[in-house]
Amino acid sequence: MRPHGPWRLGWRRLRRDRWSFIALIVFVIIVVASFCGGAIVTHLVHHNGTDLYPYASNGNLRAVGPWTHVPDVTHEFTDSYGNMVAAPKSTKTTLFIFGADGPLGRDELIRLLDGGRASLEIGIFAAIVALSIGVFLGSIGGYFGGLVDAVVARITETVMAFPLMLFLVFASVHLSSAVRSIGWGWEIPSGAIGEAILIGIATSFYPTRLVRAQIITLKHSDFIEAAEMVGASHWRILRKHLMPHLVPSLLVWGAIAVATNILLEVGLSFIGVGVQVSVPTWGSLLSTTWGTFYQPQVFNSQAFTPWQTIFPTIAILLTVVALNQISEGVRRALDPTGRS
């Protein structure tokens, strides 16, 4: 019988880990729903997340709740005095599955799905940026040592010295309009790339120190000395002999980083320096309901509805918990000793 490779063996272990495999399925569902669900729901209910429905809120600006049919009109009916009146009974209706997002009368479910896409893009792209910086700096610092390692160590220590959220707030406020407007139509909303780059740079010291420590440990191994004896170049040793040993640790860190980056995006939106206000993210959906640090929303019991808080919070909670469980499952699955 042909022996299993480490990746196939790791996949078998992950499938046997019940909670980690369930978490993986949940995360895949969240990703598919975030990237495809908005378009599907728009096709089914015949409106999108930017359409404004004045009858999706009452006179107290209280948004309608889940599974509500509202008049399918984007304008108000008024009387001779200009006051808003009820829509005629013959007016067609449209379904709001999760209700409306507020007094503007936008579809909460579609905005939640579109917001998930933007939040996941920020979290994943920021992790890629951090890994790119961390793998490069950590590998050259750990492998070459000496002055190179000292420079890398001072760079990471300098980045670590800054309070993370304070740095992100300062950098976001002073981010140029050209960078803030970077986007790619529907797929990547404006501001997502700029925020992801900032988060990636600010968190890159984590993978840098992780890679550096592992390279320092591995470079004195017998297989590295054997590669040097046969004349392998530094680049080949790094690429062929050292990098494969870093993948399991980086996968574990990457899953945790995506979850952390999503929480950072939520925090920046609450402070009021996240992506543009018009771009739905899980953080901006919550800040629209509760306001931001600079512009807090005055609580109005007559206009308040809990669904605008519950749905984004559940989405964030499920995603973060799933990613953390996946990272733990990957760590156990790729453990070369076979122990948990």
Please indicate, yes or no, if residue 47 is contained in any of the structural domains: no
Residues 57 and 133 in one domain: no
Parts of the chain with a pLDDT under 50: 1, 340
pLDDT at 183: 59
Strand (E) or helix (H) holding 24: helix 18-32
Nearest to 24, CA basis, from 254, 201, 255, 194: 255
Question: Cα 111–114–115 angle (5° rounding)?
Answer: 80
Distance CA 72, CA 62 (A): 18
Residues 149 and 214 in one domain: yes
Residues 112 and 226 in one domain: yes
52: which residues sit within 8 A by CB, 6+ positions away? 74, 104, 105, 106
How many domains does the chain fold into?
2
Distance CA 279, CA 151 (A): 39
Q: Please identify which residue in the block is written with the tokens 């156990």.
A: 332
Nearest to 193, CA basis, from 204, 176, 181: 181
Residues 111 and 156 in one domain: yes
pLDDT at 66: 95
pLDDT at 338: 56
pLDDT at 1: 47
Q: What is the CATH number of the domain that holds 142?
A: 1.10.3720.10
The pTM (predicted TM-score) of the whole model is: 0.90
Question: Cα 240–245–246 angle (5° rounding)?
Answer: 105
| Helix/strand/coil percentages in the chain, nearest 5 | 65, 5, 30
Residues 287 and 178 in one domain: yes
Residues 291 and 224 in one domain: yes
Range of the domain at 155: 11-40+107-333
Residues 295 and 214 in one domain: yes
pLDDT at 60: 73
Residues 247 and 116 in one domain: yes
Long-range CB contacts (within 8 A, 24+) of 240-244: 242/139, 242/143, 242/215, 242/218, 243/135, 243/139
